[in-house]
Amino acid sequence: MASSKDRSGIAAELPTDSRPGKALPAKMRAGYRAAAPAKINLYLHVVGKRPDGYHLLDSLVAFADVHDTVIALENDTLDLRVSGPLSDGLAGEGDNLVLRAARRLAEAAGIVPRARLKLIKRLPVASGIGGGSSDAAATLRALSALWDVRPSAAELHTIALGLGADVPVCLGGRAVHMAGIGETLMGAPRLPPAGILLVNPRKPLATPPVFKARQGPFSEPDRLAQAPRDAAELARLLETRRNDLMPPATLLMPEIEAMLGALEATAGCLLARMSGSGATCFALYPDAAQATAAATRLIKAHPGWWVAPGRLVDDVAKVQPQA
């Protein structure tokens, strides 16, 4: 790894949203700001299990523009401040993925980790949308810019995978087919614009118990071979696929069934499904306006739920980080 000033050809080796003209973290006074979007498993098949107990997956992953924000500022030491409407979910967590990502990047760069990190938490924790993984990926982007380091693609992948199975796909920041335990990323057809609505019961659901409760045979991979023309065609293609973790997750958290029913009953809903290992569920709509209208209805009917409308995106470069 070297400073990005060492030679030309920098842009090709920076993280996806650190590339000039792509999703360069927003420059601030003495620092950078990066979005950490919600990761959405549009479908998720469990296709096998390794001898060490890790399950093998086949999943089409995209993102929603609903996001956390990571801010990296110059500082003499490394510290983290967490704020935002869902910051209570991280209360008492002394060393989270944001700090671990910072230390791993500094170690790989051979520098002392010095930064004041701020995490604005809007996504629920332990909810199946990769909030912590996306926070870690955003930290790597922001600090690569702040520290002026240029990790190679291989170095970044190694750092990301060492932080968690979902961090590589969040770092890549584009819609992909994900295989293995999350380390194998393959190109996916371009996804059409669509509205999306995320709903969570404000209850965490840990991933290991969901996999442990899964029963039955393994599924086959079923990657998309064509680019959907619009949101309706995307939903039709996804209907022939599923999330294999939804049945065990629903056994552990029955609220998932209620959320799916509520989403399916909203006007314009094209598809309702659980993301990841749950408990967050999502619905796809023809556009963001219909997703917002559905959100208004659900907020009134279920005031205890976390409800967040937005847009489905196939590239996190399209997400502008909120302050």
Residue numbers annotated as active site: 39, 166
Q: How distant, in Å, are the alpha carbons of 3, 14, 36, 152 from that of 9? A: 12, 10, 26, 11
CA–CA gap between residue 213 and residue 55 (Å, rounded): 13
Establish how many alpha carbons lie within 13 A of residue 158's alpha carbon, considering only the half-sphere containing its beta carbon: 10
Residue 206's CB: how many other CB atoms inside 10 A?
12
3-state helix, strand, coil in the chain (%, to 5): 35, 30, 40
Q: For 30-94, give the secondary structure using H, E and C.
A: CEEEEEEEEEEEEEEEEEEECCCCCEEEEEEEEEEEEEEEEEEECCCCEEEEEECCCHHHHCCCC
